Structure 1
Amino acid sequence: MILSTFIQAFAQILSMAINIYIWIIIIAALISWVRPDPYNPIVQILYRLTEPLYTKIRRIIPTSIGGVDLTPILVILVLKFIDLFVVQLLFEFARSI
């Protein structure tokens, strides 16, 4: 029972963290369309939270098509897959214990 509760709590926190990061990606993408002040602390935080992951993905897969960077969309799709598949597997595993 304790292990089951722990796994469910972990799955819930993982799901929340994934959803928060998805919103960070969306906000960073929207802000990038309006040429933000690069010295703004919020812009710097968003850049530091998203750009390292974007850089790793851009090394593996070319994500720029016609001058449009599709990296945020790709990251969101992967994160939603993890949220829908892995987190649900954790919930099912916790219920089966």
Structure 2
Amino acid sequence: MIKVSVMYPSGDDATFDMDYYKTKHMEIVDRTIKPARWDIESGINGPYIAVGNLYFESMEAMQAGMGSAGEALADVPNFTNAESAVQVSQIVDS
């Protein structure tokens, strides 16, 4: 399983609309990128306001999904002004 973590950094001027992210942005992600599943983390303390995790059955599925990310990427300014960092990982155990 492949996990793509999209991490939105906190900061004095960082904004993040969690309600929009959960109800509108993730609907776009589901429809266009088509992960097997996803979850959202809300930062309590630390360097990130929020982290969105997308899970894919294979590297090929992840590459295909991310190739369709245009609409989701265009939606980012609707919920945050933060520049995200992305981590791609292989799940080795759960």
Query: Which structure has greater strand proportion?
Result: 2
Which has the larger helix fraction? 1
When the two structures are superposed, what TM-score results if normalisation uses the length of structure 2? Answer: 0.24
Rg bigger for which structure? Answer: 1
